[in-house]
Amino acid sequence: MRACPEHFNLVSSGSLSSVLGMLASDRGKWLPIAGGTEIMVLFSAGKLQQRNLINLWNLAELREIRVNEDTVSIGGGCTFSQIRSHPVIAAEFPLLALAAGWIGGVANQNRATIAGNLANASPAADSPPALLACEAEIELISARGTRRLPYTQCHLGYKRTVIAPDELIYAIQLPRKFSGWCTYARKVGTRNAQAISKVCIAAQAKIDFGRIQTIRIGMGSIAPIPLQLSQIEQLLAGCPIDRIPLVESRKLLDTAITPIDDIRSTKTYRRQVAGNLLEECLRTLAGTGA
């Protein structure tokens, strides 16, 4: 059953402050919409429960990528086309640039925003593993002010986040500290393009003097939320690259993930593929850093 447009109310405000004011005065009444690539799917299927939508697409404050000395700040309204083509992101955060190219097709990348990808809170989203590997922070804004927290603290459960009803994702903050790190990313889906991931992984490691000094690993589609594999990171810190504990790493992964059966895959397949990807990731990083 398709939705009837007459049953919905869409407003466009002229400024960020007025949007925040509306969100504050009627907490929970308004659903923010920017690119609409997720919301319009629900609308077309007649499954969009929220009837009052507020447009963010025209807010210039959310559409900027700011390069500072220590950080790159990506506005919540930036599209994945912007992210994919930005020279500093491509050079210093290749994992995120690659993930931006995984988002649907070019038409989707021209509309889909990074804030929408995160606020939708799908465990199969393409950008979260890269953001976890890049130690991203999320900056939230409301009429009450701003707050900033590690992206690792954003997700509370399946489709649940710490974002309050009166808050927007103002920006994603990325520390400029990964120059010279080795990277690995891979997405397994039904097709090579325009497919929701069955399992995806993004990782980067600082390797010096034949040892993994630091490693960050993010994985998606294997739990109710995107996961940072912190126990495996701790196990690998300081390991010689010619003696990486692959068996122990896979065992830790097996206990950390809780894949499910759904229309795209089975939990058995996801568990096996996740282990294979982790092993391939570690072998690749070790070979790159040799």
Q: Which domain holds residue 24?
A: 5-55
Q: Which of 175, 195, 220 is the last residue of a domain?
A: 175
Q: Say whether both 34 and 75 belong to one domain.
A: no
My answer on whether 158 and 103 are in the same domain is yes
Instruction: Count other C-beta atoms under 10 Å from residue 50's C-beta.
Output: 16
Do 224 and 283 lie in one domain? The reply is yes
**What's the mean per-residue pLDDT of the chain?**
93
pLDDT value, residue 126: 93
- In the block, tokens 């399946």 appear at 158
* CA distances from residue 126 to 43, 71, 98, 129, 223 in whole angstroms, order as listed: 22, 22, 10, 7, 14
Residues 138 and 209 in one domain: no
Q: What is the pLDDT of residue 6?
A: 78
Calpha distance 105→260 (Å, rounded): 26
pLDDT digits (tens, 9 = 90+) for 228-259: 999 999 999 999 999 999 999 999 999 999 99
Statement to judge: residues 67 and 88 lie in one domain: yes
Residues 33 and 95 in one domain: no
Fill in the DSSP letter of residue 158.
Answer: T
Same domain as 77, residue 168: yes
In this structure, what CATH number is given to the domain that contains residue 16?
Answer: 3.30.43
**Closest by CA position to 128, among listed 165, 153, 163, 162:** 153
Residues 168 and 227 placed together within one structural domain of the fold: no
Tally of domains in the chain: 3
Where is the domain boundary, 175, 195, 214? Answer: 175
Q: Percentage of the chain with pLDDT > 70? A: 98
Q: Which residues of the chain have pLDDT under 50?
A: none
Q: Which helix (H) or strand (E) holds 161?
A: strand 160-161
